């Protein structure tokens, strides 16, 4: 099958074997999305070698349980052992022995086929097109903020960053009914948020020490400092992006102002699918462009451009073995 391959930070499209039969389901990938983490992997964020990609929608081609075959699915990305301390606590996304699709020791979805544990599959509701379903994973990650932090309707919430993930985070934050404003860098980001009824704020109107909750979704030290300065004493700072390298911080103000900092990663798929099914969140306008898998390197170049929105790959594979 055709697959994108990452090794030593270099990408190539190559022919590899369809992943061999295992206890997992084999899914024919219809669409996969390029995420910031994919780009970070090419810069050495993790020493991963294999097929990248963890946002996708597809159709089950083979499964241990034949009821799954033919189903349109998305899938959670952490393959958990089910028996370690974190799994037993109900946190399988923190399984100490986990593999992570396209990130840690498990081939990912930028390929014609991907194998995923049956336990990780979620059926896509009929009314949700593939173009929306492919956002299930990052939308779930955005929802994780609401799993972790109680945002009240009376809160003032600032989102710093309106990129691929930030766009979804802004839409999710707006669900709370709180006073939500987004600090965006590019005109296109502001337009897309406006389309979803989410308002932006100009940098010189953010103010200092006056937001109850600030979500940092730039992954940059400057974004982090902006977020910190905007937060009120006793406020909550959510770190929604992974940071490359080390960041230098003056921690004294975190103590004096009794700030709470919450790191946030993977989230719940079912509510994400429900938001897509009801249309309360429509991510389709975030699609910037689509490339066939054979042109994946061009797609990555498009995705890395400043302000780029979602770039999709279309693996378009035939039946397995064809």
Q: Which residues would be at the binding site for its own copies (CB under 8 A)?
A: 45, 85-86, 89, 91, 94, 96, 144, 148, 209-210, 224, 232-234, 239-252, 254-265
Q: Choose between 209 and 280: whose C-beta lies nearer to its own copies.
A: 209
Instruction: Answer yes or no: are the C-beta atoms of 4 and 13 closer than 8 Å.
Output: yes
239 strand-pairing partners: 216, 263
Q: Between 136-148 and 164-174, two packed helices, what is the crossing angle to 10 degrees?
A: 50
Q: CB neighbours (10 Å) of residue 315?
A: 26
Nearest-approach distance from CB 163 to its own copies, in angstroms = 16
Nearest-approach distance from CB 258 to its own copies, in angstroms = 5
Q: Choose between 157 and 259: whose C-beta lies nearer to its own copies.
A: 259
Instruction: Answer yes or no: are the C-beta atoms of 157 and 173 closer than 8 Å.
Output: yes
Q: Choose between 209 and 305: whose C-beta lies nearer to its own copies.
A: 209
Nearest-approach distance from CB 9 to its own copies, in angstroms = 17
Instruction: Please give the full DSSP string across 140-199, using - where no structure is assigned.
Output: HHHHHHHHHS---TT-EEEEE--SHHHHHHHHHHHTTTSEEEEE-SSHHHHHHHHHTT--
Q: Choose between 105 and 262: whose C-beta lies nearer to its own copies.
A: 262
Nearest-approach distance from CB 80 to its own copies, in angstroms = 12
Nearest-approach distance from CB 309 to its own copies, in angstroms = 22
Residues 233 and 260: their CA atoms lie apart, in Å, by: 9
Nearest-approach distance from CB 160 to its own copies, in angstroms = 14
Q: Choose between 30 and 78: whose C-beta lies nearer to its own copies.
A: 78
Q: Is 44 left (phi over 0), alpha (psi -120 to 50) or beta?
A: left
Q: Which residue has the tokens 């299930």?
A: 136
Q: Choose between 24 and 79: whose C-beta lies nearer to its own copies.
A: 79
């Amino acid at each position: 099958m055709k697959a994108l391959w990452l090794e030593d930070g270099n990408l190539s499209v190559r022919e590899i074997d369809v992943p061999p039969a295992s206890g997992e389901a084999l899914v024919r990938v219809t669409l996969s999305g390029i995420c910031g983490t994919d780009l970070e992997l090419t810069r050495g964020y993790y020493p991963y070698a294999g097929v990248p990609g963890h946002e996708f929608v597809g159709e089950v081609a083979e499964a241990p349980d034949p009821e799954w075959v033919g189903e349109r699915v998305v899938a959670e990305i952490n393959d958990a052992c089910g028996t370690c301390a974190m799994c037993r606590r109900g946190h399988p996304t923190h399984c100490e022995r986990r593999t992570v699709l396209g990130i840690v020791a498990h081939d990912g979805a930028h390929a014609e086929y991907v194998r995923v544990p049956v336990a990780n599959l979620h059926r896509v509701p009929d009314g949700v097109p593939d173009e929306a379903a492919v956002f299930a994973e990052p939308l779930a990650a955005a929802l994780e903020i609401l799993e972790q932090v109680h945002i009240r309707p009376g809160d003032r919430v600032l989102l710093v960053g309106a990129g691929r993930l930030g766009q979804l985070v802004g839409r999710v934050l707006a669900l709370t009914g709180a006073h939500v404003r987004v600090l965006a860098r590019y005109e296109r980001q502001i337009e897309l948020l406006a389309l979803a009824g989410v308002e932006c704020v100009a940098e010189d109107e953010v103010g200092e020490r006056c937001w109850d909750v600030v979500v940092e979704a730039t992954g940059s030290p400057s974004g982090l400092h902006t977020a910190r300065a905007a937060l009120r004493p006793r406020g909550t700072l959510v770190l929604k992006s992974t940071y490359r390298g080390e960041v230098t911080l003056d921690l004294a103000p975190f103590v004096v102002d009794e700030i709470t900092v919450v790191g946030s990663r993977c989230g719940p798929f079912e509510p994400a699918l429900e938001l897509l099914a009801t249309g309360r969140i429509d991510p389709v306008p975030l699609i910037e462009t689509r490339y066939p898998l054979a042109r994946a390197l061009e797609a990555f170049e498009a995705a890395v451009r400043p302000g780029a929105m979602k770039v999709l790959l279309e693996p378009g594979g035939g039946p397995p073995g064809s």
